[in-house]
A and B are shown apart, each in its own frame.
Chain A
Amino acid sequence: MAHQKKGKSTVTVYPDWCKGCGICAEFCPSKVFEIGEHGKATVVREKDCIHCGFCELHCPDFAIVVRDKSPVAEMEDTAPDKPGAKKGA
């Protein structure tokens, strides 16, 4: 959860679980999220994420997961069907 340099984490929003309350978009210190046209949170500036953990702690629907970049590739190999998974991470 420690703060990191920008561009070292991946942010995933599971759209099926997101209800679009807007807490992540409002309070994210790096403005990573925006509420998309379908009323769900979407990741627009993933490179700016400093992995502060605010969105994970405050998402009432457990819809956001922030991971370090390096182990993500391994995790995606084991669970390739996760919705919204980022390509090329």
Chain B
Amino acid sequence: MNGLTGNDVIHQYLRHNKKFPHVLCPGCGHGIVLGTLIRSIHALSIPKDDIVVVAGIGCSGRLAVYVDFNTVHTTHGRALTFATGIKMANPKLKVIALMGDGDALSIGGNHLIHAARRNIGVTALVLNNSIYGMTGGQSSPATPEGATTMTNPYGQLDKAFDTVELARGAGANYVARGTVFHVKKLEKIMIEALGRPGFSLVEAITPCHTQYGRKNKFKTPVDMYQWLKKSAIDVERYEELADDKREGRLPIGVFFRRDRNGYEERYYAMKEALTGKGAKGGRK
């Protein structure tokens, strides 16, 4: 694997016996997120066998099928619960929960806040495309106010969830947001998230042209990437903007870091204190 660059690296991590090209639509950002995840794991030199990718249901759930790690394709919204179990059973594994916005914020919303509160050592990767893409374009909790969808033909009335503030309030250790246009930044964020203790949440904004863009005046997938390029702004610069100029801008970057111990560390410390035996530490 050494000496390879760019997409040659990624091809080493794909399951080439699965049908390629993948099922995602032309211009879907999920493939870019998958590539970024692979590159960040490659940069950290973590062996394939020490990575567990747990995916829920939806377009993002398909990603786990294509990568050559330990993978679980779980039920809708329950990726974090499976991930919690895997991390508790074997804390040496790096567990990554891949979820879509509907998966993480709607049907699995309760699991998200409690995984963050518990601060379990899992990296949650929320692929936010603002819509339920696979089931036909229904509004999700991340659909922006006023956006047109299949189930809201006259515009969405609800406000969208702010994933960052939600995770901050729930008690996550590390929360960051990136977009698939700013890939280098997203890669840096993922490398940091994978190396941190406790619950890390990375929200990746990925455009869904097929179900969201076409109904919201984005003629081509490229238009959605132009929109990401125009609207994204570093969170430090966003903080300095006047309130009236913040409209329509998307802050990206690392929002906050905490250094609380993860749930599995506290659990095994308690176990050791009570029984006098060391932590099991998992099978190697």
- B6 & A66 in contact (Cβ 8 Å cutoff): yes
Minimal beta-carbon separation of B59 from chain A (angstroms): 12
Q: Which single member of A27, A57, A64 contacts B184 (CB below 8 Å)? A: A57
Chain B residue nearest to A53 in the complex (CB): B6
A26 close to chain B: CB less than 8 A:
yes
Contact for B27 among A16, A23, A57, A62, CB less than 8 A:
A23
Instruction: Decide: A57 near B221, CB < 8 A? Known: A19-B21, A21-B26.
Output: no
Beta-carbon nearest neighbor of B22 in chain A: A61
Tell me the bound Cα distance from A62 to B36 in angstroms. 11
- The answer to whether residues A16 and B21 also contact, given A58-B183, A62-B14, A62-B31 and a CB cut-off of 8 A, is yes
The count of chain B contact residues (Cβ–Cβ below 8 Å) is 30
State whether A23 touches B10 (Cβ < 8 A).
no
What is the minimal beta-carbon distance from B98 to any residue of chain A, in angstroms? Answer: 15
Contacts of A44 in B (CB 8 A): none
Cβ contacts under 8 Å, A8 to chain B: none
Please tell me which one of the listed residues A17, A23, A63, A66 contacts residue B221 in the complex, with CB atoms under 8 A apart.
A23
Q: Looking at chain A's contact residues, is the secondary structure mostly helix, strand, loop, or mixed?
A: loop
| Other-chain contact of A60, B8, B20, B30, B222 (Cβ < 8 Å) | B30
Residue of A nearest to B221 (CB): A21
Which residues of chain B have C-beta atoms less than 8 A from A20's C-beta?
26
Nearest B residue to A68 by beta-carbon distance?
A: B5
Q: Are A60 and B6 also in contact (CB < 8 A) when A21-B221, A22-B222, A26-B225 are?
A: no
Indicate if B253 sits at the interface (CB-CB under 8 A): no
Please tell me if the beta carbons of A23 and B21 are within 8 angstroms of each other in the complex: no
* Contact (A62, B221) CB under 8 Å given A19-B21, A56-B7: no
Interface residues on A, range: 20 to 34
B window 1-58: CB within 8 A of A: 5-8, 10-11, 14, 20-22, 24-32, 35-36
B229 to chain A, nearest CB (A): 8
Given contacts A65-B8, A67-B8, contact A60 B29 (CB under 8 A): yes
B126 to chain A, nearest CB (A): 18
With contacts A57-B32, A61-B22 known, what are 20 further pairs, Cβ within 8 A? Answer: A1-B5, A19-B25, A19-B26, A20-B26, A22-B27, A23-B27, A23-B221, A23-B225, A26-B225, A26-B226, A56-B6, A57-B36, A59-B32, A60-B26, A60-B27, A60-B28, A62-B31, A65-B6, A65-B8, A67-B5
Would you mind naming 14 contact pairs between A and B with Cβ atoms under 8 Å apart?
A17-B20, A19-B26, A20-B26, A23-B221, A23-B225, A53-B6, A60-B24, A60-B35, A61-B31, A62-B11, A62-B31, A65-B7, A67-B5, A67-B8
Leading 8 A-B pairs by shortest Cβ distance: A60-B31, A21-B27, A19-B26, A56-B6, A21-B26, A57-B183, A26-B222, A17-B21
